[in-house]
Amino acid sequence: MAQYQAVLFDFDGVVVDSEPVHFECWQEILTPFGIDLDWQTYSEHCIGITDRTMLAFLCSRSRAPLDIEVLAAEYPRKKEMFRERMMKIGIPPAIRQLAQELRPAYKLGVVTSSNIREVGALLESAGLMPYLDTVVHGGDVKHHKPAPDPYLLAVERLGVKTALAVEDSKAGIASAKAAGLDVIEIRDANEVPALVRAFLR
């Protein structure tokens, strides 16, 4: 088994099962625009991509022509809606326990396409920040996942040569692999602690 200097976690769908909440928020935002969004479409086309790319896709599903800036103007409300709901749900204690276990042996980071406002308060409230050496969010890089830039930045910040990525989306997995990292693919956020422990054992 390869030895790693760091473990890097995606946020949505890995640190916390937040994608259903993102989905519900978007459904509420889109309904007045007459845009129908089902879970399968959302999971296939809206996870792990940039905000702008997702907005363009959502606009393409409108029955009437819809300018992307009109939908973009709703984004701050969606972010606040998401933040409020996720603060009530929180990050599972099992993730904090995992971070505690890994921290002596590995540098830890979160690498996400989400806005820092959406993830920062959650990481703070869960008590995870003391265990994290870096948090790379959507505003930190010009080219988002699936480009390698987010993971390359994380590795550069940490000053490591080898790192393991924990990802759930196609774009995230492609990003980590393009950065030269090994990847644990996650299908259920609840399985993260057990899968990471087993992989590193």
Per-residue pLDDT of the chain (201 residues; tens, 9 = 90+): 458 999 999 999 999 999 999 999 999 999 999 999 999 999 999 987 778 889 999 999 998 899 999 999 999 999 899 999 999 999 999 999 999 999 999 999 999 988 888 899 999 999 999 999 999 998 899 999 999 999 999 999 999 999 999 999 999 999 999 999 999 999 999 999 999 999 999
Cis peptide before 146 (omega within 30 of 0): yes
Does 1 fall in a domain? Answer: no
Burial 44-70 (b: 16+ CB within 10 A, else e): eebbbbbbeebbeebbeebeeebeeee
Picking from 65, 87, 109, the residue at the C-terminal end of a domain is 87
Q: Which residue has the tokens 């509420």?
A: 28
Same domain as 190, residue 173? yes
Q: Is the pTM of this model over 0.85?
A: yes
Tally the domains of the chain: 2
Residue type (1 letter), 183: V
CB 192 within 8 A of CB 98: yes
Strand 107-111 relative to strand 182-185, pairing = unpaired
Residue 164, CB-side half-sphere exposure with 13 Å CA sphere: 19
Same domain as 184, residue 95? yes
> Count of residues for the chain?
201
Picking from 87, 102, 121, the residue at the C-terminal end of a domain is 87
The enclosing domain of 121 has a CATH number of 3.40.50.1000
Q: Which residue has the tokens 């996720």?
A: 86
Q: What is the three-class DSSP state of 110? A: strand
Domain that holds residue 67: 19-87
Residue 105 makes CB contacts below 8 A (sequence gap 6+) with none
